[in-house]
Structure 1
């Protein structure tokens, strides 16, 4: 749900000198620990925010599962990953640790950055622009909230962007890691998929290249598998230029 002022906020600040002076004085009373909701959300249509989303993954019967829990508020209704906004002065580990402790009761041991996302109302799912940091977290303890779901089968009423984070990009992260272990990453940055898409770059026996864009990871993987059955080579890229898999492995 888009913030109601997203399309109304002016691009240029237009305040009289006395109004600007008053605003600056008021802002000096705003706490950086983000207490309260209305003042915090008033900045949604003005400044990009930096949230984290934490993937806590464990294997159950040989299948990777991810921790999710349900929330119901104005902008976010449905299942979602643990997550929260960055506070001033926090390191990555402190940031993830605070959020996980608050939302799940888990103690963090390690936070590994999977990737970042630039989500905004025009991409869907969020009320404002967010530069989301997606982490894989190693933890201690058992969660006090939420439950584990297979990373390929999260609930249908999962927040739209979180569903993509898990079913597309968390899966791709593990596939990329396996590519590293089996043969290494050799093609990072050579090609980049359009935002939120996947790109398969293939060459045939004559070394003639083709580039095909796919809107889901499964479709892209199917294309790579097709090339794996032939003599051609195909490499799968995400929208940051990361090599995920290639048909040689």
Structure 2
């Protein structure tokens, strides 16, 4: 039998919802888990705290075990009403991390993740998210010593790191590779000419790059290159090639190339 809500139940629900709306963004855990998470997409803000240690890019992780997550992850929080992302990042630094002074928070990109969808990094597994999430990833630099968490190399995360945070770490690394290329080669001129499928990395030879910008949509798929589940696999592939190959992400952004 189809579930139906009576007018009385709906009116009661609206009254409670209005009370919650007056609580300045605080939602009782029971309401959050029972009503909002199963029905409304959430917006996690993921301020990844990054720093070079002995010349190697590291990211701050904490070992989390609760009703929602079980493993190593970035500090982060759902964006609350009436916060903007900067407010949420500030709250995360103050209430979750502690001991750090934020110097820079650069927005990188958004990810749409659903429970039950296949994890692009590990065949046969699904994303370890508790609900539909539209996550915003930020590359953050900060001074000080965190009161919680520990820095780990981005390319060598702990075994029990949440799989969607492994994906985030790959995109942090891609951001750094892009910056390095821009400095060494006076910019990037190939954004948008190719792209990977969602959550993956696409490698293509420069011989497939068209001169006509209206042809860019054809540079996609196995005909024109190779697609990989992880950034490491894509980097390893391009290193082995004897001609000029390029890596693109699933937004069509140029990441790096094996060219000098």
Alignment TM-score, normalising by the size of structure 1? 0.86
Q: 2:5 aligns with which of 6, 15, 34?
A: 15
SS in 2 for 1:29: helix
Checking the alignment, whether the CA contact within 8 Å between 1:97 and 1:107 is kept in structure 2 is: no
Within 2, Cα distance between the matches of 1:203 and 1:34? 51
Match of 2:231 in 1: 217
Equivalent positions of 1:166-181 (< 5 A) are 166=169, 168-181=170-183
SS in 2 for 1:157: coil
Deviation at 1:179, TM superposition (A): 1.6
Match of 2:256 in 1: 245
Q: Is residue 61 from structure 1 mapped to residue 54 from structure 2 by the alignment?
A: yes
SS in 2 for 1:45: helix
Equivalent positions of 1:56-205 (< 5 A) are 56-105=49-98, 106-123=100-117, 124-166=127-169, 168-183=170-185, 184-204=187-207
Checking the alignment, whether the CA contact within 8 Å between 1:70 and 1:79 is kept in structure 2 is: yes
Checking the alignment, whether the CA contact within 8 Å between 2:45 and 2:85 is kept in structure 1 is: no
Q: CA RMSD in A?
A: 2.2
Match of 1:33 in 2: 25
Number of positions where the alignment pairs a residue of Structure 1 with one of Structure 2: 233
Checking the alignment, whether the CA contact within 8 Å between 1:34 and 1:40 is kept in structure 2 is: no
Q: Unaligned regions of 5+ residues in structure 2, if any? A: 118-126, 211-218
Q: Deviation above 4 Å: which 4+ runs of structure 1? A: none
More helix by share: 2
Within 2, Cα distance between the matches of 1:36 and 1:16? 24
Listed one character per residue, the Cα deviations across residues 166-195 of structure 1 (whole Å, up to 9, x for unaligned) are: 1x2111111111122122211112222111
Q: Unaligned regions of 5+ residues in structure 1, if any? A: 1-9
SS in 2 for 1:155: coil
Within 2, Cα distance between the matches of 1:64 and 1:219? 18
Within 2, Cα distance between the matches of 1:115 and 1:217? 16
Alignment TM-score, normalising by the size of structure 2? 0.82
Match of 1:234 in 2: 245
Within 1, Cα distance between the matches of 2:142 and 2:175? 19
